Structure 1
Amino acid sequence: MKSVVQVTDAIKNIKDLEDFQLAQKATLTGIIMAIIKAEPTDSLVSPVRTMAVDALSYLSKLKPFYSTEESIQLAAKVERGLLPAVVQGRGLTGTPLWASSRITRPVLRLRNEPLSGVTVNSSPFQVMSDPILHQKKLLKRAVLMLEKGAEQEDEVLRVLSLRALGNMALGAPRKVRQYRKLLLEKCLSSLRGPSVSTSVTSEGLEVLAKVLVELREGDLGSAFNAISEQCRAFFDNESKLLRLKAFILFGKLAQVVRISKKHFFKQEVKKAWVPLMLHCQDPCSDAAQACVATLFQCVHFWGWRALESSADHSDATAPKEMAGFQMTLCSILTQKKPAVLYNFLLETMTYVKSNLSRIRIAACNLAGIIMKQMSAHYLKKLDFPALRNSLQELQLDSDPGVWRAALETLNILDTCSQQRLLASPEGIA
């Protein structure tokens, strides 16, 4: 083991790792794996195991590189060997499992996986997706350990504990209902507070999406409301990853709704509708596609068949297709819910100040569509000078697409202003 440590230290001191080739890499990898396998499993973070996994993670950076499949297989072998220690929840000298980032970080490096990566089956905590825990009646002990891990300040361990809890949906899906209170509580706590990191929040959103698949409306109780409200709060987040996860989760929530939460979720859909329509043009293509899918999963909550049949949402991320759907929606709202359409315009105009240029463009386009469809009664309520000022400010935008969209909407606004004057007694006179 001493020679392995010396090699690891030498690797760490190499400045250009990717340009260095180690001829005996395969042999050294085999030796390290044998060392890891020989370690007793009653301690998760033994000094030897920690050094060996660390050495393996640094070795992966040298040529000839491990293939993606080889890296995953190596990490999986390490993780399987850690299963007994994870279940016992012990680390070095009885240190609890959640204090063991010394072993989890190297395994993540071996997988070449960022902390906020989308992949869910990573780290030693992948074992929660293994049915063996349920078969050997070890699940309860593992869950209690991970519950404490999800409460820790260490970001890596909190993320991995949440991820492992979510993997219960893979390894023991029938047990999700039994532990739903714990799962929902830990996930919701990861979405709250300014001090919670993006990685932790992202994991919480993803775990909720997995857990919801195994639950029914009645299983959620008051957590349903909290999930929906917290989820909507991330629609406009600066992190594209959080936006993506939030759109996916909202869509999963829509699928859970039955009778008791239908009225509540209808109101949530109404509150979410403008950001959902705008983020169908999200600059992150994955977030845009997830948003489109969620938008059309929620269409039926309006209760209008004409709206449901109006869109071919396979290409709804394209501006023309989305514009067609928006025109149909606004036409229906003008007839059935004109006050809602008016409020949609006011909300849409707040997005012309978005940090994302694609969203500013989408907001201008949607505002123009709404103005065209708005009834004369509600046109009179508009503050035309304020709207004009907001759109004129966009003429100075650094993105040509923004000022072109703003100019087009300004022309629509001027046309609407003239129609308002003609419709007024003063205009007729």
Structure 2
Amino acid sequence: MKTTLWDFPAASLHLKVILALEQWSKLEISFSSKEICSLLSDCCRAILPLPSAAEQLGKIRNAEQAVLQLQSLHMATKALGRLMAVLLKTKPSPVDFVDIAEVLCFWLSSGNPWVCKRALQVCAQLLEDCRDGVAFQTRGAYLPFGALAGLLGPLTCEPTSSSRQLAAACLSSLLHIQAKATNRLLQTDDPASLCEGLSAHSDASQQLQTSIHIAEMVCKNVPKEQAADFMNAIQEPFRRARGSRVRAAGNWMLTFLETWGKDIGPDVRGILSTLHTCTESMQEPSFMYFVHHAVLILARHHERLTMNVILEKFVPMDRNTLELWRTLGRDSIGIGVLKRLARKLRRVGDDSSQPSSSSGRLHAHQPSAESLAVTRAISEMVSVQSKEGVQSLLPSLLPGLLLQLSKALGEEMLFAPLSPWRGHAEDQRQEGNVCRPFCKTLMSVLSKCTEKSWLTPFWRQKMSALLESPRTYAEGMCLLTSVLLRAQLISRELIEIFSQWLRYPSANLQLTAMAFFAELMKEPPLEKRNVLKTLRVLAEKAHHRSSTIRQLAARALGNAASSVPVEVRKHGRQVVRVLQQSLADTACPEVVAESMLALAELVRVLQVVNLGSAFEDIARSTKMFFESEEEYLRYSALRLYSVLASSASTKGLFFAREVAETWVSLFLHLRDPDLAVASMCKITFRLCVPFMGLRRPREIISLCKRLGAQELQDALCTYLARYAPPKLERLRSVARRGCLENGQRLHPSTFEILAFQGPSSTEDAQVWRRQTRPSVAVAPCGQ
């Protein structure tokens, strides 16, 4: 009989063979399930792919014969369905619904409409016989309801009306069989009653709405333990189909997940894997909407598991995956997912509780794939979030991103000095920087949180460049904190997190926290008790092994002296002592310079009476840096010395002795090659004039205010020649030797400018008087 199927491709012969097989199947002959399924597959291959009705009418000239041939073919498909039903009813037969479903699956998924229609005819006959047959006992047997529903559902939107109605009839029979198997009454409407909405007279929109209505009926009856079967069956239209069938499959999938999404926790991972498979082979990218919305439904009920599977499965981050994260971000669960991502990012990078080396350093490394995926997901979700939502999550987002940055930069950042010039760090951005994804996301977060005036493209680019390099990371962190302060985004939670980092074993995180507090101390939104506690920690960090942390500690203490002087006074002497010790850190000139700038603020706040003997020690230490090669050291020393001079009223005798040693150096540096140093030197020299023991010092002070550096030097030399020849001779002697009396060599650019020989006549003295006389009238004392 099988040979007849292949040798005589006439529908009438096929019908006779299948009818014979139907009778034969009633005999109690022992065949295996595999053999029966092979027979049914042969029957399907012989009948279902036969030419369509139009082709048969075109080939057969006799119209009456053609019609008979079509009728015979139709009867053959129905007979094949009855054969399957008979095999299910026959007691000795090992075949069951799962085997039959596997045979029909390929043909029901066919892209050829007439093949799919014939498979539906077979299936409709099979399910009708099973529904009405009293001999077929389904109770206690496994019914692949989920797989069949997923297979038949999308076919309710087939191009031909007869196929759509056949699919609805199959689903109607399937519901009745399910009710019979569970010994319950059918609790929904019958899909067969909606066949009118699938007819040729209905438009596409009505057909789609009818299909969705049928989906609502059927999905309520899908056993939740067959959720994975349903999703595996319905993925086929996504992978291979186009047009209306894909749209119908999407609607059925969403309807099913809306119905059972909360109750299918054990199957979530498998369902998401199925959806990921669909994204890899989908022929209609425009229908990715259904996949994204399906993931969203699962995320609403199983947020943590869904997020973890997406990060694990949906990689690399292609266009579809990025849109998936944006879809999650637009939903009401977006804030919750974003918060969970932020916590995950901190966990991925927070291995700092156990130092990676005996010294507690974090070594530079390539970021993990997971940290990069989480960061990119955060960036996409932030882009569609509201300003208020991102601001509320800033205490969670910012630490995680900074943790990843510091981890990627490694230990080089611990010994990269800051620029003492405050904000003059160079752009050291490099191509292919491993920190760029974290910086880019960080800038996205800040752009969302702050007003444009606080974070212009220029500052955003500069900040990103600073943070990406270990040599400028600390400066970038200070700039970041400054922006947060201006935008009023420093919260108590954020301060608490960075306070904890000050005590972390990871020196990298300590540095990040120190940079934060160094800038925060300019305007600390802290309570009095917390300020004192923080000051103690900052003072401790002045002895840290990292030179950058020591420098930040000095900067933080100096800023604190300016912003919270009352609190600083309570520990003033201890802080001064710490900074004095830092002046001996000659191996790190940046630390020395920062310490002198901080001491300048402390001396101004504490005043001489509260410094005790520290005033003399600071003055003696400071003058040793006037001739340093580094211009920032000269500037910092002059800045500190100017504050000492302005505060030395009660230390007049001591400071006069000091100025007697330092005035030559100050005089020469009036024309320092660095403009900032020369400008500071002029201020310092003017403040030191009252301690030089000169006649008419007010006139010299007035000249300092009125003349430029060269003119001032010339005028002073003229004055010394007239009123203090020994001082002029000392000046010449120092210039000739190139060093001071204590043996300290002058800065190379200072003594070379001395070419003045002093006034040699009364006429020169008169010139001096003419230069000084107007200053008394124009520039009153103290102006």
The interval holding the TM-score normalised by the smaller chain is: 0.5 to 0.7
User: Aligned partners of 2:624, 2:394: CA distance in 1, in Å?
Assistant: 44
Out of 298, 308, 314, the position equivalent to 2:688 is 298
Partner of 2:497: 85
The equivalences for 1:24-423 within 5 A come to 27=383, 36-38=394-396, 49-51=402-404, 57=439, 66-68=457-459, 72=479, 74-76=483-485, 80=491, 82-86=494-498, 89-91=499-501, 95=504, 100-102=507-509, 104=511, 123-133=516-526, 135-195=527-587, 197-259=588-650, 261-310=651-700, 311-334=702-725, 338=726, 340-351=727-738, 356-357=748-749, 359-362=750-753, 364-366=754-756, 368-369=757-758
Partner of 1:380: none
Any idea what SS the aligned residue of 2:599 has? helix
- What is the TM-score with the length of structure 1 in the denominator? 0.64
**Deviation digits for residues 329-384 of structure 1 (CA, Å, limit 9, x no counterpart):** 342212xxx3x544333223233885533x1332x325x339x69xxxxxxxxxxx
Gap runs ≥5 in structure 1: 11-22, 41-45, 109-121, 374-429
RMSD (CA atoms): 3.9
Contact 1:83–1:127, Cα closer than 8 Å, also in 2: no
Partner of 2:451: none
Give, as a single letter, the amino acid of the residue that structure 1 aligns with 2:519.
Q
User: Aligned partners of 1:253, 1:286: CA distance in 2, in Å?
Assistant: 19
Any idea what SS the aligned residue of 2:752 has? helix
Give, as a single letter, the amino acid of the residue that structure 1 aligns with 2:383.
T
Contact 2:585–2:591, Cα closer than 8 Å, also in 1: no
Partner of 2:774: none
Contact 1:243–1:287, Cα closer than 8 Å, also in 2: yes
**Deviation digits for residues 226-268 of structure 1 (CA, Å, limit 9, x no counterpart):** 1111111111101111111111111110111123x11010011
Give, as a single letter, the amino acid of the residue that structure 2 aligns with 1:298.
C
User: Aligned partners of 2:381, 2:755: CA distance in 1, in Å?
Assistant: 57
Contact 2:528–2:567, Cα closer than 8 Å, also in 1: no
Q: CA deviation at 1:129?
A: 3.5
Sort the Cα spacing of 1:350 and 1:175 in 2 relative to 1 into closer, same or farther, 3 A: farther
Give, as a single letter, the amino acid of the residue that structure 2 aligns with 1:82.
L
Q: CA deviation at 1:158?
A: 1.0
User: Aligned partners of 1:341, 1:221: CA distance in 2, in Å?
Assistant: 34
Contact 1:36–1:49, Cα closer than 8 Å, also in 2: no
Higher RCO, 1 vs 2 (CA within 8 Å, ≥6 residues apart): 1
User: Aligned partners of 1:176, 1:346: CA distance in 2, in Å?
Assistant: 45
Contact 2:401–2:438, Cα closer than 8 Å, also in 1: no
Gap runs ≥5 in structure 2: 1-340, 346-368, 407-434, 445-454, 464-478, 740-744, 762-783
User: Aligned partners of 1:130, 1:251: CA distance in 2, in Å?
Assistant: 25
User: Aligned partners of 1:231, 1:137: CA distance in 2, in Å?
Assistant: 33
User: Aligned partners of 1:25, 1:124: CA distance in 2, in Å?
Assistant: 29
User: Aligned partners of 2:673, 2:643: CA distance in 1, in Å?
Assistant: 22
User: Aligned partners of 1:66, 1:144: CA distance in 2, in Å?
Assistant: 38
Sort the Cα spacing of 1:348 and 1:39 in 2 relative to 1 into closer, same or farther, 3 A: same
Instruction: Select the structure of larger CA radius of gyration.
Output: 2
- What is the TM-score with the length of structure 2 in the denominator? 0.37
Contact 2:586–2:592, Cα closer than 8 Å, also in 1: no
Contact 1:79–1:124, Cα closer than 8 Å, also in 2: no
Give, as a single letter, the amino acid of the residue that structure 2 aligns with 1:206.
L
User: Aligned partners of 2:501, 2:381: CA distance in 1, in Å?
Assistant: 29
Q: How many residues align?
A: 326
Sort the Cα spacing of 1:161 and 1:82 in 2 relative to 1 into closer, same or farther, 3 A: farther
Any idea what SS the aligned residue of 2:626 has? coil
* Identity in percent: 21
